[in-house]
A and B are shown apart, each in its own frame.
Chain A
Amino acid sequence: MTAAPIARRIGPAVQWRDWDGEIVAYNDRTGDTHHFADLAAWMFRLLIARTLDESGIRAAAEAEIELPPRSTAMPLSHAPSLCSINWN
């Protein structure tokens, strides 16, 4: 059985500021504060604006930056190492 794609977004529990291309965010669910730069900041902005599943995030990334062919692309399951916020 194939699992249904997980839709991801950044929920209302997250307060954030965007300064000079970098983001600082506070997650009220965990009490953690995070600093995102570069790709992590880009993905944060993406998921503030829209709810996307894995394929949607990949498509947005492909449109934004040049990614290697899909067969060699990094699985999205590695994304938490880029962006450690708890999605909710």
Chain B
Amino acid sequence: MNSLAMRLGPFTATLETPFASLVDGLHQLYRPELFDVSDSFADFHVSLAPGKGVRRWFRQQARFLVDGESPFMPLPADQALPMFEWGLNYAIAAQAHQYLVVHAAAIELNGRVAILPGAPGAGKSTLTAALVQRGWRLLSDELALIRPEDGHVVPLARPINLKNRSIDIMRDYAPEAVFSRETHDTAKGTVALMRAPDDSMRRVGESAPVGWIVFPRWKEDAEARMEPWSRPAGLMEIAHNAMNYSLHEERGFNVLANIFEQSGCYRFTYSKLDDAIERFAALAASSLQS
């Protein structure tokens, strides 16, 4: 049995698993110091256990358990690494109510955060992966953690989950980046995890205020366009994408309203990553001038 503890932004998780390939995968994707956890307290006690009955040996399965509960159906054992990452997303979204948790990527440049909510297929993760390979700091790929006390986004710099065509696109775009091996035939198709840039993992203790909320949409052959959008409409969309907005009640509304008060709200359509990088650079530069 393999046991480890790791720091994931503001959280600590422990993992027990017999799957050595999962442990190897995590060491490939996270910086070594993130496994150097002396605190005995953990927010999440995770285990990736073998399947039951014949599934221990025949078409071996993995079961995800967090704090003894098993929220998902078992998956083939070769999906243990993405399952660990998806399961952690679930655990954070279900339990981390000290934050307003929004289903969105978050990246930072010059001390200001861009929140990128996106429906599946909108190209959010691909865009995020490209931006963090070109100077933006990764705070999160899937879950933006907003601290209600000050509206800052708290980093959760974990690997970026790439799917299907995005994997090859990013391998071409950032050949120096580190990728996990591909896992085929998952519920999301073929997936691979891209390691967060080292600088993002090193600065995982540095929160930052929101400067922009950008709703991205990838559209074949579209010219890159960053259009200002209605802040009330944007707030409604973010509230819809928040995992625990209703739990925060009036405070949740005021946190989001204050963020929109101080931030630009945009819709962004793109097809080419280089054009997207340019538009985001212009966005960051314009806020420095204003």
Stretch at the interface among B94-102, B115-123, B246-254: B246-254
Which of chain B's residues have a CB closer than 8 A to the CB of A24?
231-232, 235-236, 257
B-side interface residues, number (CB < 8 Å): 16
CB 8 Å contact bits of A15-53 with B (1 = contact, 0 = none): 101011011101010010101110000000000000000
Shortest distance from the beta carbon of A11 to any chain B beta carbon, whole Å: 13
10 more contacts with CB within 8 A, not counting A28-B250, A33-B236, A33-B253, are A15-B250, A15-B254, A20-B230, A24-B236, A24-B257, A28-B249, A31-B249, A33-B235, A33-B245, A37-B232
Given contacts A35-B232, A35-B233, contact A17 B249 (CB under 8 A): no
Let me know if A17 and B230 touch, CB within 8 A.
no
Which of chain B's residues have a CB closer than 8 A to the CB of A37?
230, 232
Which of chain A's residues have a CB closer than 8 A to the CB of B249?
28, 31
Which of chain A's residues have a CB closer than 8 A to the CB of B250?
15, 26, 28
Q: Does B239 contact A (CB under 8 A)?
A: yes
Shortest distance from the beta carbon of A19 to any chain B beta carbon, whole Å: 4
Q: Does B260 contact A (CB under 8 A)?
A: yes
Which of chain A's residues have a CB closer than 8 A to the CB of B232?
17, 19, 22-24, 35-37
Shortest distance from the beta carbon of B97 to any chain A beta carbon, whole Å: 15
Offer 19 A-B interface pairs, CB within 8 angstroms, sorted by A: A17-B260, A17-B261, A19-B232, A20-B230, A20-B231, A22-B230, A22-B232, A22-B233, A24-B231, A24-B235, A26-B254, A33-B235, A33-B245, A35-B232, A35-B235, A35-B236, A36-B232, A37-B230, A37-B232
Let me know if B253 and A26 touch, CB within 8 A.
yes
Interface residues of B in 249-290 (CB under 8 A from A): 249-250, 253-254, 257, 260-261
A31 to B246, CA, bound (A): 7
Shortest distance from the beta carbon of A42 to any chain B beta carbon, whole Å: 14
Chain A CB within 10 A, most for which of B231, B257, B261: B257
A88 to B245, CA, bound (A): 23
Interface residues of B in 212-237 (CB under 8 A from A): 230-233, 235-236
Let me know if A33 and B260 touch, CB within 8 A.
no
**B232 to chain A: closest residue by CB:** A24
A17 to B246, CA, bound (A): 18
Given contacts A24-B235, A33-B236, contact A19 B253 (CB under 8 A): no
**A17 to chain B: closest residue by CB:** B257
Shortest distance from the beta carbon of A64 to any chain B beta carbon, whole Å: 21
Let me know if B239 and A33 touch, CB within 8 A.
yes
Shortest distance from the beta carbon of B273 to any chain A beta carbon, whole Å: 31
Given contacts A31-B249, A35-B232, contact A19 B239 (CB under 8 A): no
Shortest distance from the beta carbon of A85 to any chain B beta carbon, whole Å: 13
Task: Sort A-B residue pairs by CB-CB distance and give the 10 closest, nearest first.
Answer: A26-B253, A24-B232, A22-B232, A19-B231, A35-B232, A17-B257, A35-B236, A28-B250, A24-B235, A33-B239
A26 to B236, CA, bound (A): 10
Which of chain B's residues have a CB closer than 8 A to the CB of A26?
250, 253-254
Chain A CB within 10 A, most for which of B239, B245, B253: B253
Shortest distance from the beta carbon of A36 to any chain B beta carbon, whole Å: 8
Shortest distance from the beta carbon of B284 to any chain A beta carbon, whole Å: 23
A28 to B162, CA, bound (A): 39
Shortest distance from the beta carbon of A25 to any chain B beta carbon, whole Å: 9
